[in-house]
Protein backbone atom coordinates (compact mmCIF):
# COMPACT_ATOMS: atom_id res chain seq x y z
CA UNK A 1 0.00 0.00 0.00
CA UNK A 2 1.25 3.49 -0.71
CA UNK A 3 0.11 7.05 -0.26
CA UNK A 4 1.15 9.90 -2.49
CA UNK A 5 0.15 12.72 -0.21
CA UNK A 6 3.62 12.86 1.38
CA UNK A 7 6.85 11.20 0.33
CA UNK A 8 9.61 10.21 2.74
CA UNK A 9 13.28 10.14 1.71
CA UNK A 10 14.23 6.52 2.33
CA UNK A 11 17.95 7.36 2.18
CA UNK A 12 17.84 9.36 5.42
CA UNK A 13 19.13 7.44 8.44
CA UNK A 14 16.80 8.89 11.11
CA UNK A 15 13.06 8.24 10.85
CA UNK A 16 11.66 10.90 13.11
CA UNK A 17 12.72 13.94 15.11
CA UNK A 18 10.43 16.08 17.26
CA UNK A 19 10.98 19.49 18.79
CA UNK A 20 9.21 20.96 21.81
CA UNK A 21 8.30 20.29 25.36
CA UNK A 22 9.54 17.60 27.66
CA UNK A 23 7.59 17.69 30.90
CA UNK A 24 6.30 15.62 33.76
CA UNK A 25 2.79 14.19 34.06
CA UNK A 26 1.59 13.54 37.60
CA UNK A 27 -1.44 11.35 37.14
CA UNK A 28 -3.83 10.92 40.04
CA UNK A 29 -3.74 7.41 41.49
CA UNK A 30 -7.10 7.70 43.21
CA UNK A 31 -9.19 8.07 40.10
CA UNK A 32 -12.86 8.92 39.65
CA UNK A 33 -12.70 11.81 42.10
CA UNK A 34 -11.77 15.49 41.97
CA UNK A 35 -8.19 16.68 42.36
CA UNK A 36 -8.99 18.13 45.78
CA UNK A 37 -9.42 14.58 47.05
CA UNK A 38 -6.39 13.12 45.33
CA UNK A 39 -3.59 12.15 47.67
CA UNK A 40 -1.01 10.40 45.50
CA UNK A 41 0.17 10.72 41.93
CA UNK A 42 2.37 8.64 39.67
CA UNK A 43 5.13 10.42 37.81
CA UNK A 44 5.56 9.91 34.06
CA UNK A 45 7.40 11.71 31.29
CA UNK A 46 4.89 13.97 29.54
CA UNK A 47 4.49 16.76 27.01
CA UNK A 48 2.69 16.04 23.79
CA UNK A 49 5.72 15.90 21.42
CA UNK A 50 7.62 13.79 23.94
CA UNK A 51 4.71 11.37 24.17
CA UNK A 52 4.50 11.12 20.38
CA UNK A 53 8.24 10.46 20.10
CA UNK A 54 8.07 7.75 22.74
CA UNK A 55 5.17 6.28 20.78
CA UNK A 56 7.17 6.30 17.54
CA UNK A 57 10.16 4.71 19.24
CA UNK A 58 8.00 1.96 20.78
CA UNK A 59 6.64 1.27 17.31
CA UNK A 60 10.19 0.56 16.19
CA UNK A 61 11.28 3.78 14.51
CA UNK A 62 14.64 5.49 14.88
CA UNK A 63 13.88 8.71 16.73
CA UNK A 64 15.49 11.82 18.22
CA UNK A 65 14.29 14.79 20.25
CA UNK A 66 15.24 18.48 20.26
CA UNK A 67 14.37 20.23 23.51
CA UNK A 68 15.53 21.69 26.78
CA UNK A 69 15.19 20.33 30.31
CA UNK A 70 15.69 21.87 33.73
CA UNK A 71 18.96 21.30 35.55
CA UNK A 72 17.28 19.28 38.27
CA UNK A 73 16.14 15.78 39.22
CA UNK A 74 13.06 16.04 36.98
CA UNK A 75 15.14 17.10 33.99
CA UNK A 76 17.51 14.20 34.54
CA UNK A 77 14.59 11.79 34.90
CA UNK A 78 13.24 12.94 31.52
CA UNK A 79 16.56 12.59 29.69
CA UNK A 80 17.18 9.22 31.31
CA UNK A 81 13.75 8.01 30.20
CA UNK A 82 14.34 9.12 26.60
CA UNK A 83 17.67 7.26 26.58
CA UNK A 84 16.04 4.15 28.02
CA UNK A 85 13.44 4.28 25.24
CA UNK A 86 16.17 4.43 22.60
CA UNK A 87 15.50 8.06 21.65
CA UNK A 88 18.57 10.09 20.63
CA UNK A 89 18.73 12.83 23.27
CA UNK A 90 21.95 14.46 22.04
CA UNK A 91 19.93 17.58 21.12
CA UNK A 92 18.23 17.81 24.51
CA UNK A 93 20.10 20.63 26.22
CA UNK A 94 20.10 21.60 29.89
CA UNK A 95 18.89 25.01 31.04
CA UNK A 96 21.39 27.00 33.13
CA UNK A 97 19.12 29.92 34.08
CA UNK A 98 17.22 28.27 36.92
CA UNK A 99 14.14 27.41 34.86
CA UNK A 100 11.96 24.57 36.08
CA UNK A 101 10.35 21.45 34.64
CA UNK A 102 6.74 21.88 33.50
CA UNK A 103 4.28 19.80 35.52
CA UNK A 104 0.89 18.51 34.41
CA UNK A 105 -1.31 17.25 37.24
CA UNK A 106 -4.08 15.21 35.75
CA UNK A 107 -7.51 15.00 37.30
CA UNK A 108 -9.52 11.90 36.41
CA UNK A 109 -13.05 12.56 37.71
CA UNK A 110 -14.58 9.94 35.42
CA UNK A 111 -13.60 8.29 32.15
CA UNK A 112 -15.21 11.18 30.30
CA UNK A 113 -14.48 14.04 32.68
CA UNK A 114 -10.74 14.62 32.82
CA UNK A 115 -8.74 17.80 33.07
CA UNK A 116 -5.16 18.90 33.39
CA UNK A 117 -3.78 21.41 35.87
CA UNK A 118 -0.55 22.78 34.45
CA UNK A 119 2.32 24.45 36.30
CA UNK A 120 4.25 26.17 33.55
CA UNK A 121 5.81 29.36 34.94
CA UNK A 122 9.43 29.80 33.84
CA UNK A 123 9.61 26.36 32.23
CA UNK A 124 12.83 25.07 30.72
CA UNK A 125 11.20 23.76 27.54
CA UNK A 126 10.32 27.28 26.39
CA UNK A 127 13.99 28.37 26.81
CA UNK A 128 15.21 26.32 23.86
CA UNK A 129 17.12 28.66 21.52
CA UNK A 130 17.35 28.67 17.72
CA UNK A 131 21.13 28.26 17.96
CA UNK A 132 20.61 24.97 19.81
CA UNK A 133 18.76 23.38 16.89
CA UNK A 134 21.29 21.23 15.02
CA UNK A 135 20.91 21.40 11.27
CA UNK A 136 22.71 18.06 10.79
CA UNK A 137 20.15 16.21 12.92
CA UNK A 138 17.20 17.56 10.94
CA UNK A 139 19.03 16.95 7.66
CA UNK A 140 19.26 13.27 8.66
CA UNK A 141 15.55 12.93 9.46
CA UNK A 142 12.74 11.69 7.24
CA UNK A 143 10.19 13.56 9.36
CA UNK A 144 10.13 16.56 11.72
CA UNK A 145 7.24 16.94 14.16
CA UNK A 146 6.46 20.31 15.69
CA UNK A 147 3.84 21.00 18.29
CA UNK A 148 2.00 24.25 18.93
CA UNK A 149 2.88 24.91 22.54
CA UNK A 150 6.54 25.48 21.66
CA UNK A 151 5.41 28.52 19.64
CA UNK A 152 3.99 30.24 22.71
CA UNK A 153 7.09 32.17 23.73
CA UNK A 154 10.53 33.24 22.61
CA UNK A 155 13.16 31.85 22.36
CA UNK A 156 11.41 28.48 21.86
CA UNK A 157 9.25 30.05 19.11
CA UNK A 158 12.32 31.00 17.06
CA UNK A 159 13.81 27.56 17.67
CA UNK A 160 10.74 25.97 16.06
CA UNK A 161 10.94 28.29 13.04
CA UNK A 162 14.65 27.49 12.74
CA UNK A 163 13.81 23.77 12.75
CA UNK A 164 11.11 24.34 10.13
CA UNK A 165 13.60 26.15 7.95
CA UNK A 166 16.15 23.32 8.18
CA UNK A 167 13.44 20.74 7.47
CA UNK A 168 12.35 22.65 4.35
CA UNK A 169 15.94 23.00 3.14
CA UNK A 170 16.67 19.30 3.62
CA UNK A 171 13.38 17.82 2.44
CA UNK A 172 12.09 16.37 5.73
CA UNK A 173 8.33 15.82 5.80
CA UNK A 174 6.95 18.22 8.42
CA UNK A 175 4.07 17.20 10.69
CA UNK A 176 2.32 19.70 12.97
CA UNK A 177 0.30 18.47 15.95
CA UNK A 178 -1.58 21.61 16.91
CA UNK A 179 -1.51 20.73 20.62
CA UNK A 180 -3.17 23.99 21.70
CA UNK A 181 -2.84 24.57 25.46
CA UNK A 182 -4.48 27.94 26.19
CA UNK A 183 -2.69 28.58 29.51
CA UNK A 184 0.68 28.82 27.80
CA UNK A 185 -0.44 31.73 25.61
CA UNK A 186 -1.18 35.35 26.47
CA UNK A 187 -3.51 36.50 23.69
CA UNK A 188 -5.86 34.80 21.22
CA UNK A 189 -4.61 36.97 18.35
CA UNK A 190 -0.96 36.14 19.01
CA UNK A 191 -1.84 32.46 19.22
CA UNK A 192 -3.65 32.43 15.89
CA UNK A 193 -0.91 34.41 14.12
CA UNK A 194 1.92 32.06 15.11
CA UNK A 195 -0.11 28.90 14.59
CA UNK A 196 -1.00 30.03 11.08
CA UNK A 197 2.57 31.07 10.23
CA UNK A 198 3.88 27.66 11.27
CA UNK A 199 1.06 25.65 9.67
CA UNK A 200 1.74 27.26 6.29
CA UNK A 201 5.07 25.42 6.22
CA UNK A 202 3.77 21.97 7.20
CA UNK A 203 2.98 18.91 5.08
CA UNK A 204 0.72 17.18 7.61
CA UNK A 205 -1.50 19.09 10.04
CA UNK A 206 -3.32 17.23 12.82
CA UNK A 207 -5.72 18.91 15.23
CA UNK A 208 -9.11 18.81 16.85
CA UNK A 209 -12.06 20.80 15.50
CA UNK A 210 -11.62 23.25 18.40
CA UNK A 211 -7.93 23.73 17.62
CA UNK A 212 -8.68 24.58 14.00
CA UNK A 213 -11.43 26.95 15.20
CA UNK A 214 -8.82 28.81 17.22
CA UNK A 215 -6.66 29.23 14.11
CA UNK A 216 -9.62 30.37 12.03
CA UNK A 217 -10.11 33.49 14.13
CA UNK A 218 -8.17 35.06 11.28
CA UNK A 219 -10.25 33.50 8.52
CA UNK A 220 -13.81 32.90 7.61
CA UNK A 221 -15.46 29.55 8.28
CA UNK A 222 -18.61 30.34 10.28
CA UNK A 223 -20.06 26.86 9.68
CA UNK A 224 -16.91 25.25 11.18
CA UNK A 225 -16.80 23.08 8.08
CA UNK A 226 -13.96 20.54 8.11
CA UNK A 227 -13.65 20.61 4.33
CA UNK A 228 -13.26 24.40 4.26
CA UNK A 229 -10.66 24.16 7.02
CA UNK A 230 -8.60 21.60 5.13
CA UNK A 231 -8.86 23.40 1.77
CA UNK A 232 -7.14 26.45 3.21
CA UNK A 233 -3.99 24.47 4.01
CA UNK A 234 -3.79 22.85 0.59
CA UNK A 235 -3.14 26.35 -0.78
CA UNK A 236 0.06 26.30 1.31
CA UNK A 237 2.32 23.25 1.91
CA UNK A 238 -0.09 20.66 3.30
CA UNK A 239 -0.70 17.30 1.64
CA UNK A 240 -2.77 15.87 4.53
CA UNK A 241 -5.03 17.61 7.05
CA UNK A 242 -6.60 15.57 9.84
CA UNK A 243 -9.43 16.85 11.98
CA UNK A 244 -10.10 14.81 15.12
CA UNK A 245 -13.51 14.53 16.77
CA UNK A 246 -12.81 12.55 19.94
CA UNK A 247 -14.95 9.44 20.27
CA UNK A 248 -16.68 10.34 17.00
CA UNK A 249 -13.48 9.51 15.13
CA UNK A 250 -11.45 11.57 12.70
CA UNK A 251 -11.44 12.70 9.12
CA UNK A 252 -8.42 13.14 6.85
CA UNK A 253 -8.39 15.28 3.76
CA UNK A 254 -5.71 14.98 1.11
CA UNK A 255 -4.61 17.52 -1.45
CA UNK A 256 -5.98 15.42 -4.33
CA UNK A 257 -9.50 16.17 -3.05
CA UNK A 258 -10.12 12.83 -1.31
CA UNK A 259 -11.37 12.44 2.25
CA UNK A 260 -11.11 9.46 4.59
CA UNK A 261 -13.20 8.90 7.69
CA UNK A 262 -11.99 6.77 10.59
CA UNK A 263 -14.36 5.57 13.24
CA UNK A 264 -13.11 5.11 16.76
CA UNK A 265 -12.78 1.63 18.22
CA UNK A 266 -14.48 0.60 21.46
CA UNK A 267 -12.34 1.18 24.54
CA UNK A 268 -12.60 0.66 28.27
CA UNK A 269 -11.62 4.25 28.97
CA UNK A 270 -9.70 5.15 32.13
CA UNK A 271 -9.04 8.76 31.05
CA UNK A 272 -9.22 10.61 27.77
CA UNK A 273 -5.95 12.51 27.68
CA UNK A 274 -3.18 10.98 25.64
CA UNK A 275 -5.65 10.00 22.91
CA UNK A 276 -4.32 12.63 20.54
CA UNK A 277 -0.65 11.81 21.11
CA UNK A 278 -1.07 8.08 20.58
CA UNK A 279 -3.30 8.67 17.57
CA UNK A 280 -0.59 10.90 16.04
CA UNK A 281 2.15 8.34 16.71
CA UNK A 282 0.10 5.51 15.22
CA UNK A 283 -1.01 7.50 12.20
CA UNK A 284 2.46 8.86 11.36
CA UNK A 285 3.98 5.41 11.86
CA UNK A 286 1.46 3.97 9.38
CA UNK A 287 2.33 6.61 6.80
CA UNK A 288 6.03 5.86 7.22
CA UNK A 289 5.33 2.16 6.56
CA UNK A 290 3.81 3.21 3.21
CA UNK A 291 0.28 2.30 4.31
CA UNK A 292 -2.62 4.21 2.82
CA UNK A 293 -4.34 6.99 4.76
CA UNK A 294 -7.24 4.84 5.97
CA UNK A 295 -5.02 2.04 7.28
CA UNK A 296 -2.81 4.62 9.03
CA UNK A 297 -5.84 6.27 10.64
CA UNK A 298 -7.16 2.91 11.79
CA UNK A 299 -3.82 2.12 13.40
CA UNK A 300 -3.73 5.54 15.12
CA UNK A 301 -7.29 5.10 16.39
CA UNK A 302 -6.46 1.71 17.92
CA UNK A 303 -3.23 3.03 19.47
CA UNK A 304 -5.33 5.80 21.05
CA UNK A 305 -7.67 3.21 22.60
CA UNK A 306 -4.76 1.40 24.21
CA UNK A 307 -3.48 4.61 25.81
CA UNK A 308 -6.86 5.85 27.04
CA UNK A 309 -7.48 2.45 28.60
CA UNK A 310 -4.28 2.91 30.66
CA UNK A 311 -3.20 5.17 33.48
CA UNK A 312 -0.37 6.97 31.70
CA UNK A 313 0.28 8.51 28.30
CA UNK A 314 4.00 7.98 27.63
CA UNK A 315 4.44 4.69 29.47
CA UNK A 316 1.33 3.21 27.85
CA UNK A 317 2.43 3.86 24.26
CA UNK A 318 2.01 0.47 22.54
CA UNK A 319 4.28 -1.62 20.37
CA UNK A 320 3.06 -2.47 16.85
CA UNK A 321 1.89 -6.05 17.58
CA UNK A 322 -0.29 -4.78 20.45
CA UNK A 323 -2.02 -2.35 18.10
CA UNK A 324 -2.62 -4.97 15.42
CA UNK A 325 -3.91 -7.31 18.10
CA UNK A 326 -6.29 -4.61 19.41
CA UNK A 327 -7.74 -4.09 15.93
CA UNK A 328 -8.21 -7.82 15.43
CA UNK A 329 -9.88 -8.27 18.81
CA UNK A 330 -12.26 -5.39 18.03
CA UNK A 331 -13.09 -6.94 14.66
CA UNK A 332 -13.84 -10.26 16.42
CA UNK A 333 -16.14 -8.38 18.82
CA UNK A 334 -13.98 -9.23 21.82
CA UNK A 335 -13.69 -5.61 22.98
CA UNK A 336 -16.89 -3.79 23.74
CA UNK A 337 -17.45 -0.60 25.68
Ligand X SMILES: O=C(O)C[C@@H](O)[C@H](O)C(=O)CO
Ligand Y SMILES: Nc1ncnc2c1ncn2[C@@H]1O[C@H](COP(=O)(O)OP(=O)(O)OP(=O)(O)O)[C@@H](O)[C@H]1O
Residues found near ligand Y in the complex (CB under 6 A): 208, 244-247, 249-250, 264-265, 267, 269, 272-277, 279, 301, 304-305, 308
Q: What is the CA radius of gyration of the chain?
A: 19
Which residues of 231-273 form beta strands (DSSP E)?
A: 240-244, 250-254, 259-262
Q: Among 5, 6, 18, 23, which residue interacts with ligand X (rule: CB under 6 A)?
A: 23
- The entry of ligand Y, ligand X, none that residue 254 binds, CB within 5 to 8 Å by partner kind: none
Residue 219 CB, shortest distance to ligand X, in Å, is 26
Ranges within 214-233 binding ligand X (CB under 6 A): none
- The entry of ligand Y, ligand X, none that residue 93 binds, CB within 5 to 8 Å by partner kind: none
Query: Judged by CB, which is closer to ligand X: 55, or 239?
Result: 55
- The entry of ligand X, ligand Y, none that residue 25 binds, CB within 5 to 8 Å by partner kind: ligand X
Which residues are registered as beta bridge partners of 254?
240
Q: Say if residues 172 and 164 touch (Cβ distance below 8 Å).
A: no
- What 8-state DSSP symbol labels residue 171? T
Which residues are registered as beta bridge partners of 92?
67
Query: Judged by CB, which is closer to ligand X: 46, or 282?
Result: 46
Residue 168 CB, shortest distance to ligand X, in Å, is 26
Query: Judged by CB, which is closer to ligand X: 48, or 250?
Result: 48
Q: Say if residues 258 and 7 touch (Cβ distance below 8 Å).
A: no
CA dihedral angle for residue 28, residue 31, residue 36, residue 41, rounded to 10 degrees: -20
92 φ, ψ to 5°?
-95, 110
Query: Judged by CB, which is closer to ligand X: 111, or 259?
Result: 111
Residues in binding contact with ligand X, number by CB under 6 A: 13
The yes or no reply on residue 47 touching ligand X (CB under 6 A) is: yes
Query: Judged by CB, which is closer to ligand X: 15, or 25?
Result: 25
The yes or no reply on residue 116 touching ligand X (CB under 6 A) is: yes
Q: Among 52, 104, 174, 330, which residue interacts with ligand X (rule: CB under 6 A)?
A: 104
Residue 82 CB, shortest distance to ligand X, in Å, is 14
Phi-psi region at 291: left, alpha or beta (left = phi > 0; alpha = psi -120 to 50): beta
Nearest to 151 by CA among 141, 140, 164: 164
Lateral strand order in the sheet of 103-110: 41-46, 23-28, 103-110, 113-119
The yes or no reply on residue 207 touching ligand X (CB under 6 A) is: no
Residues 6+ apart with CB under 8 A from 18: 49, 50, 52, 53, 63, 64, 65, 66, 144, 145, 146, 147
What is the distance between the alpha carbons of residues 333 and 135, in angstroms, rounded to a whole number?
A: 48
- The entry of ligand X, ligand Y, none that residue 295 binds, CB within 5 to 8 Å by partner kind: none
Residue at shortest CB range from ligand X: 46
Q: Say if residues 241 and 215 touch (Cβ distance below 8 Å).
A: no
Q: Among 3, 38, 48, 57, which residue interacts with ligand X (rule: CB under 6 A)?
A: 48
- The entry of ligand X, ligand Y, none that residue 267 binds, CB within 5 to 8 Å by partner kind: ligand Y
Sites of contact with ligand X (CB under 6 A): 23, 25, 46-48, 51, 104, 116, 273-274, 276-277, 313
Amino acid sequence: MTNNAVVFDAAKPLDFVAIGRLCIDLNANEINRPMEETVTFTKYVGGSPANITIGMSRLGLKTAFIGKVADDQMGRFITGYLNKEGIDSSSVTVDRTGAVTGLAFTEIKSPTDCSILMYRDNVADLKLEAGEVREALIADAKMLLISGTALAKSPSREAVFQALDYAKQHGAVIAFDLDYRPYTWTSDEETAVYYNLAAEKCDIIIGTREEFDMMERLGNNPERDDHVTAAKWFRHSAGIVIIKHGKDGSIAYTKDGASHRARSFPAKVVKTFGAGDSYAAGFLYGLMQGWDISASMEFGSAAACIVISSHSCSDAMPKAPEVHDYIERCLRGEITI
